[in-house]
């Protein structure tokens, strides 16, 4: 276990889901992008840092396969408890996406990242994150990124974040085309505005 995973474990150990700064009830911003993807309900979807997000309920369909990852074993444990005994197609992972991930994570149709990538601040780990995504996503697959925008907060969960705009995201995605992008202000549980950029990309080669 490294320092980063300990940091996140501590947060998930001591904080009720609804008090987490990124807690959301309304997933329409992500669902709107998913709805632009043909047959997304029959896809293999990788969620990069799932936390304890209720998004999982929204993307669980009889023919979806979910690969649910988080650096925090505690978050994964909490979410596993919730789905214990159900027969959904779910694979659980506890990987730091700033480091190489196992090569058997592949054939992903859709990669979803809400508020995970922006915690990577070192150029090497950002590069590794995109390598991980690229090697596990099929050509023709899609990636959704929802990150703090340039006008967004500079910190979250006590950590510095790297903020993004379309240009900066696209720079890391030379073999992708942007299908959709939108600025969106999330209001956090304390009532504070948190500006995000929401994007949908398609891998073209």
Ligand X SMILES: C[S@@+](CC[C@H](N)C(=O)[O-])C[C@H]1O[C@@H](n2cnc3c(N)ncnc32)[C@H](O)[C@@H]1O
Residue ranges in contact with ligand X by CB under 6 A = 8, 22, 49-51, 53, 70-72, 75, 96-98, 114-116, 119-120, 156-157
CB–CB of 191/40 below 8 Å? no
Min CB(114)–ligand X separation in Å: 4
Please give the Cα distance from 161 to 156 (Å, whole number).
Answer: 7
Min CB(89)–ligand X separation in Å: 20
Q: Which residue is nearest to ligand X (CB)?
A: 49
By beta-carbon proximity to ligand X, the closer residue of 15 and 170 is: 15
Min CB(48)–ligand X separation in Å: 6
By beta-carbon proximity to ligand X, the closer residue of 62 and 123 is: 123
Please give the Cα distance from 184 to 50 (Å, whole number).
Answer: 20
Min CB(112)–ligand X separation in Å: 8
Helices then strands (H, E): number in the chain? 6, 9
By beta-carbon proximity to ligand X, the closer residue of 53 and 149 is: 53
Apex 187 CA angle, 192 and 172, nearest 5: 105
By beta-carbon proximity to ligand X, the closer residue of 122 and 168 is: 122
Token pair listed for 136: 């596990």
Q: Is the dihedral of CA 84, 67, 197, 61 positive or negative?
A: negative
């Amino acid at each position: 276990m490294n320092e980063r995973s300990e940091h996140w474990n501590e947060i998930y150990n001591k904080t009720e889901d609804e008090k987490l700064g990124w807690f959301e009830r309304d997933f329409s911003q992500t669902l709107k992008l998913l709805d632009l993807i043909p047959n997304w309900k029959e896809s293999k979807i990788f969620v990069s840092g799932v936390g304890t997000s209720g998004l999982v309920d929204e993307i669980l369909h009889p023919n979806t396969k979910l690969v649910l990852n988080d650096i925090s074993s505690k978050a994964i444990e909490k979410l596993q408890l919730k789905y214990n005994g159900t027969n959904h197609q779910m694979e659980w992972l506890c990987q730091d996406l700033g480091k190489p991930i196992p090569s058997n994570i592949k054939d992903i149709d859709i990669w979803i990242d809400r508020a995970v990538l922006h915690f990577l601040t070192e150029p090497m780990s950002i590069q590794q994150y995109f390598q991980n995504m690229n090697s596990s996503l099929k050509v023709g697959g899609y990636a959704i990124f929802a990150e703090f925008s340039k006008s967004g907060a500079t910190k979250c969960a006590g950590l510095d974040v790297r903020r993004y705009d379309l240009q900066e995201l696209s720079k890391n995605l030379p073999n992708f085309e942007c299908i959709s992008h939108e600025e969106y202000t999330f209001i956090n549980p304390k009532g504070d505005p948190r500006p995000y950029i929401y994007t949908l990309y398609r891998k073209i080669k």
